[in-house]
Amino acid sequence: MTARPTVPAPIAMLAELTYRCPLSCPYCSNPVEMAKKEAELDTEAWADVFAQAARLGVLQLHLSGGEPASRRDLVALVAAARTAGLYTNLITSAIGLTQRRLKELETAGLDHVQLSLQGTDADMADRIGGYKGGFDRKMQAAHWIVEAGFPLTLNAVVHRQNLHQLPQAIEMAVAMKARRMEVAIVQFHGWAMLNRKTLMPTAEQATEASRIVQEARSRLKGTLVIDYVPADYHSDYPKRCMGGWGTTGLNVTPDGLVLPCHAAQTIPTLEFDNVRDKPLADIWYNGTAFNAYRGEDWMQEPCKSCDRRKLDFGGCRCQAMAIAGQAAATDPVCVKSPVHGKMVELAQAFSQDETGELVYRKSP
């Protein structure tokens, strides 16, 4: 397999080890239709994917899910990833992690833990996670993670229901001695699309969140690094989705499909290859889904002649699909999109809607 000179090798891979999860967060980025446990890649198949990824140029591996700790072979998978030479990051709710298992993960060479936070107290966290007692279990496990000396990132997913807790979440990250924090305002893909009425922040909340993050960044410089994902629907320009389609990262689903981004299955025209059928490098360089939105040839106006196309690559393809009805359209977040007005109206209407009930994610 020869690399095409115009296509860079990927840096990062998101391995969704399983869709099983003890939590039922209503903003889960997993697809609404999920593969069952029986369809999951086994230990050997994942180990082979990790080795292929390292040879392809992947440096950073994110072990995610569902809840990756729901895989009984998690320790063996971490060991295989480290043997392959990958920087190994566990993205977890921490529920299901015991002190003994953390010790085994440490021995296997796990580099870093990213802990999700659904709320800063049990009332909020258990309601959002849909799991009573989950917050207490998480806090216990968080203590063990810190005690074991793992470098920690706290990942606070925030939305209209819990944005008022953002200052406390930042203080929790400091108290846990986390080096990094991710403050991510919910992005509307997967299950979150079913929950826009309940989760969409108001424009005022979105502005306030940006102010809080900016203040905390300068106050905590050298103590806590904060990465921030702003409220997409309320922005004027779109996010740099995936740092450019098929340029930086790839995603492998529990059953072995290789996706350019975790939401790519919402684009019905795309066909995805499986690691069970083809080498990973072949899929990355030659797969039709990866080549569909590489470069600029696929772009329409206003992107095609816009200077910002080098900055944001036209934004998010899945959002263009969801709101504008075609994946090659300009991301409607952009003020230059002909359907930007619709986006503004949606953001306004959803953020003021008090009639919605949370639709919880169901495990396969």
Q: Which residues here bind another protein, judged by CB under 8 A?
A: 9, 11, 55-57, 59-60, 85, 87, 89, 111-112, 114, 149-151, 153, 179-180, 221-225, 227
Closer Cβ to another protein, 112 or 336, answer by number:
112
CA distances from 261 to 50, 56, 251, 255, 359 (A): 18, 18, 6, 15, 23
Q: What's the min distance (Å) between Cβ of 146 and another protein?
A: 12
> How deeply is 236 buried, as exposed, middle or buried, from its count of CB atoms within 10 A (0-12, 13-18, 19+)?
exposed
Closer Cβ to another protein, 115 or 185, answer by number:
115
Give the closest residue to 8 by CA, choosing from 49, 47, 59, 51.
59
Give the closest residue to 343 by CA, choosing from 203, 191, 207.
203
Closer Cβ to another protein, 60 or 202, answer by number:
60
Closer Cβ to another protein, 246 or 314, answer by number:
246
CA distances from 106 to 62, 89, 147, 166, 210 (A): 16, 12, 12, 30, 35
Both tokens assigned to 164: 């008022």
Q: How far apart are CA 284 and CA 199, in angstroms?
A: 34
Closer Cβ to another protein, 174 or 306, answer by number:
174
Closer Cβ to another protein, 55 or 308, answer by number:
55
Q: What's the min distance (Å) between Cβ of 12 and another protein?
A: 8
Cβ–Cβ < 8 Å for 350, 192: no
Closer Cβ to another protein, 86 or 292, answer by number:
86
Q: What's the min distance (Å) between Cβ of 73 and another protein?
A: 23
User: 268 in helix, strand or coil?
Assistant: coil
Q: What's the min distance (Å) between Cβ of 111 and another protein?
A: 6
CA count, 13 A, side-chain hemisphere, 302? 16
